[in-house]
Amino acid sequence: MLPNLVLASSSPWRRQVLDKLGLPYRTKHPDIDETPIPTEAPADLVARLALEKAKAVAPTFKDALIIGSDQVAVLDDQIIGKPGTHERARQQLKDASGRTLTFLTGLCLLNTATGQHQLAVIPYHVHFRPLSDQLIEGYLQHEQPYNCAGSFKSEAAGIVLFERLEGDDPNALIGLPLIELVRMLEQEGINLFQISA
């Protein structure tokens, strides 16, 4: 039996990742305050927001599995947000040059029938090449990734900025760790592509 699956997100990138599983699902935008709590560690922040996103849409769906996810980029224990402008994007890439940016993705699967939830935080590391001013400027003019944390699009031309990528699940970098989600679904009795006798 197919699950009643809901993605608590309006992100087109998360939808593209979830589409890989071939499961039917619905989406609903979670209207929550994403402001960090003072002194809250980045991993705690994404775990809390993933759960809050799932809980925010849960009242609309009875007997459903709700997927909540949240992500931050971290450099030197500081959260790196979406740059918004060319100047901020340039500075983010200068700061990341020759260094490692860690993306932390909080993932929650909430069962609205039981009220139980599963929660995990998945890290993914982006190791940057040393970046010249010319490379940074050329890349930003080409892609204009001003709405992307870390100022790049890994699924597009941003790949030219990297020395290597490191993590258990490349989908985590895009904001929805599918390997962990499959494990969570299995805990709820949803076994993809396994036909019962």
Q: With respect to residue 76, please indicate whether it lies within any of the assigned structural domains.
A: yes
Strands 100-111 and 162-167, by their bridges, are unpaired
- Residues 6 or more apart from 93 whose CB is under 8 A from it? 128, 131, 136, 139, 140, 151, 152, 161
Q: For residue 156, what is the domain's CATH number?
A: 3.90.950.10
Q: What is the pLDDT of residues 162-171, one digit of tens each?
A: 999 999 999 9
In the predicted structure, residue 92 carries a pLDDT above the cut 50: yes
Q: With respect to residue 120, please indicate whether it lies within any of the assigned structural domains.
A: yes
Q: With respect to residue 194, please indicate whether it lies within any of the assigned structural domains.
A: no
Across 188-193, average pLDDT: 88
Q: With respect to residue 144, please indicate whether it lies within any of the assigned structural domains.
A: yes
165 is in which domain, residue-wise? 5-187
**How far is Cα 108 from Cα 68, in angstroms, rounded to an integer?**
5
In the predicted structure, residue 28 carries a pLDDT above the cut 70: yes
pLDDT classification of 197: cutoffs 50, 70, 90: very low
Q: With respect to residue 137, please indicate whether it lies within any of the assigned structural domains.
A: yes
**pTM higher than 0.95:** no
Q: With respect to residue 18, please indicate whether it lies within any of the assigned structural domains.
A: yes
Annotated active-site residue 70? The verdict is yes
Count up the domains in the chain and report the number.
1
Q: With respect to residue 105, please indicate whether it lies within any of the assigned structural domains.
A: yes
**Per the residue annotation, which of 70, 76, 77, 133 is the catalytic one?**
70
